[in-house]
Chains A and B, each alone.
Chain A
Amino acid sequence: MEAPAVAVRGLVKRYGEVEAVRGIDLEVARGETFGFLGPNGAGKSTTINILCTLTEPTAGEARVVGLDAVRDRAAVRRRIGLVFQDPTLDAPMSGEQNLRFHQELYGVDRRRAPARREEVLRTVGLWERRADPVSTYSGGMRRRLEIARGLLHSPQVLFLDEPTIGLDPQTRSSIWAYLAELHRHAEREEDRITVFVTTHYMDEAEHCDRIAIMNEGRIVALDTPDALKAQVGADRVVITTEDDEAALRSLRAEFGLEGAVREGAVSVAVPDGAGFVPRLFGRLGVGIRSVTVTRPSLDDVFLAHTGTTIRDAEAGAGPSMHPMAARMRGR
């Protein structure tokens, strides 16, 4: 049987007194897009650095496509692509020169190299700009070039650490469109690349097949985005009516539901919001002006598992709580 793309058992990483990763277990299948979610300082970057052979774990085991990230360092590196949180491009060189440099560094077949460069540059939409110095690229273009470079040596696993940080929403969604493109391109099953991505944007995690939520060095939840949201439970149906008091009474009598009036609207929690709306219209008996159905978001999931919103968690975690961030800044 083929080894999983990523297998982590009992992983611990300590920086002096600080325990950045506190014993995590994780398995990512081949071809999966796996999201690693959590606030800054949750231990995401440390975990990804261990998997990329850049940091050695204090305890536990990390395997990438069946190879040990500590003992088979070079072998792991040949099989993975990396896109770091901080840019790692050479600005005076052109986009294509950066890619050629990478190919030489990884020793890929010279005869196939130009075709492969063209392929990845077209995938990320930078073929027309290939001869321009990277210094003339926008932030989003640089990110795309880094993703192209990460794919250049046909890695089995592509690791991306916060690939969309600091980018505007439009560029962020285009980056995700390119990542989705990767899976569509692979025609054969064995060519399907595994994408392992960390983010602290909740909306981005929706693009993943499965996500792990990490908080304070531990994985607190791991499942598909839908399953995680289903665990949190109910949809929220918010209606504005002609008579809120009558609507509340009717909800209790007809459906056995306890509604609440908030900001001039009646709000009620139901398991299947979309299916509930037609019945609501049929039996409420009070004029309805508008209906909004809200599905639970991953923010709700994060809140349910950690007792805090991701934004508050970030505000609480200062630089001192995040040894990796401090180290990176020092570079």
Chain B
Amino acid sequence: MTSTLPTEAVRVPESSLATEARAAAVVWEREMIRFVKDRARILSSLAQPLLFLFVLGSGLGSLLSSGQGTGSVRFETFLFPGVMAISVLFTAAFAGISIVWDREFGFLREMLVAPVSTASILVGKALGGATVATLQCLVLLALAGLVGVPYDPLMLLAMVGLIFLMGFMITALGLVLAARVRQVQSAMPLVQLVITPLMFLSGALFPLSGLPTWLAVLTHINPMTYAVEPLRSIVFDHLDVDAATRARFDPGIVWGSWTVPVALQVVLTAAFSLAMLGLAVWRFRRTE
């Protein structure tokens, strides 16, 4: 190449769906670049779900089997979809809140002054968070056989879809939280403050059957519950368990006496995701 290149002007096109999609795609791509580069993050965020699955799972599992018993299902099997959800929760929330770092280092400005809408930038971020969360879960999914979950291709595919949706929702929630956080130091405590209750009140770690009323109410208003339950439901669909065991470990979500269909749970999760994204866009437009 010579140094005398044509100095023809490059034109920036009018805004269109195509330019907005390209902006979202490049924001997504940047999340991928960061994910691949940050190996420490990948390993550390895998450690936690593995501890939950094998240490908590085995520990509580042996306790349960000594008492009333877990029927025809192992406790680790029950825990498997919940541990997926926990992994998604932490990975995606971090992906969402990471925009605070973008603000701190100024890169958020570069993104927000471009002739594209704030929504495209945040959609790119949310898709990025969802993708990273899903990639992490693929490693956990590979371990399904160790905890007695069959490798059924359709089931695995459906789980990946549900995990992606959950990841999108949580990243969008992280973005909402990040909108007003000015200091990097306050970002992580805020995530812990919001994510930990979402985790404990979601039915990720214990079945929703036979809960005291206050706990039942809290779990039922937690949007995370509606993202976790379809995941567990699809796993139990592919297990060989008797009706009584399933009723104890996967009772579904019941409003009054009406059992909420899994399809509606997925719709609610999608609706909540869009609501979070809309709220994030609104808050970013107001503050930046």
Contacts and interface: CB of A to CB of B under 8 A. Distances in A.
Interface stretch (B7-15, B131-139, B214-222): B7-15
A90 B30 contact: yes
B106 A152 contact: no
A185 B111 contact: no
B33 interface: yes
A185 B12 CA distance: 20
Interface stretch (A1-9, A108-116, A204-212): A108-116
A52 B109 CA distance: 12
B106 A107 contact: no
B109 A93 contact: no
Interface string A81-108: 0101011111111000100111011111
A106 B182 CA distance: 27
A257 interface: no
A15 to B, nearest CB: 15
Given A105-B26, A109-B10, A91 B113 contact: no
9 A-B pairs with the lowest CB-CB distances in the bound complex, closest first: A104-B26, A107-B19, A88-B106, A154-B9, A77-B115, A78-B12, A105-B114, A88-B110, A154-B10
B116 interface: yes
Contacts of A104: 22-23, 25-26, 29
A79 interface: yes
Nearest to A104: B26
A108 B104 CA distance: 27
Interface in A182-201: 185-187, 191
A119 B30 contact: no
B37 interface: yes
B10 A89 contact: no
Interface in A273-320: none
A74 B1 CA distance: 35
Interface of A: 52-54, 74-75, 77-79, 82, 84, 86-93, 97, 100-102, 104-109, 112-113, 115-116, 118-119, 122, 149, 152-154, 185-187, 191, 330-331
Given A105-B111, A105-B114, A84 B10 contact: no
A87 B105 contact: yes
Nearest to B16: A107
Contact of A186 (B7, B29, B34): B7
Nearest to A146: B110
Contacts of A86: 106, 109
Contact of B115 (A106, A119, A187): A106
Contacts of B243: none
Contacts of B7: 119, 185-187, 191
B18 interface: yes
A209 B8 CA distance: 25
8 contacts: A78-B13, A87-B106, A89-B110, A93-B33, A107-B13, A107-B22, A107-B23, A122-B3
A284 B110 CA distance: 63
Contact of A77 (B6, B33, B107, B113): B113
A153 B10 contact: yes
A77 B11 contact: no
Contact of B5 (A79, A119, A186): A119
Interface string B91-133: 0000000000011111101110111100000000000000000
B107 A88 contact: yes
B114 A84 contact: no
A92 B101 CA distance: 12
Given A88-B107, A105-B23, A115 B114 contact: no
Interface in B27-68: 27, 29-30, 33-34, 37
Nearest to A110: B22
A90 B22 contact: no
Contact of A108 (B12, B34, B102, B111): B12
A102 B12 contact: no
Contact of B10 (A54, A112, A118, A122): A112
Contact of A74 (B3, B5, B6, B115): B115
Interface string B171-186: 0000000000010000
Contact of B113 (A82, A101, A187, A191): A82
Contact of A89 (B8, B13, B25, B107): B107
Given A105-B114, A107-B23, 6 more contacts: A89-B107, A90-B30, A101-B26, A108-B12, A191-B7, A330-B182
Q: Which of A53, A74, A82, A88 has the most CB of B within 10 A?
A: A88
B23 A74 contact: no
Nearest to A193: B9
Contacts of B15: 74
A89 B105 CA distance: 7
Contacts of A109: 10-11
B22 A79 contact: no
Contacts of A101: 26, 30, 110
A79 B14 CA distance: 11
A159 B12 CA distance: 17
A329 to B, nearest CB: 10
Contacts of A152: 10
A84 B19 CA distance: 24
A108 B115 CA distance: 11
B178 to A, nearest CB: 13
Contacts of A91: 105
B14 to A, nearest CB: 8
Contacts of B29: 104
A118 B1 contact: yes
A105 B121 CA distance: 9
A132 to B, nearest CB: 14
Contacts of A122: 3, 5
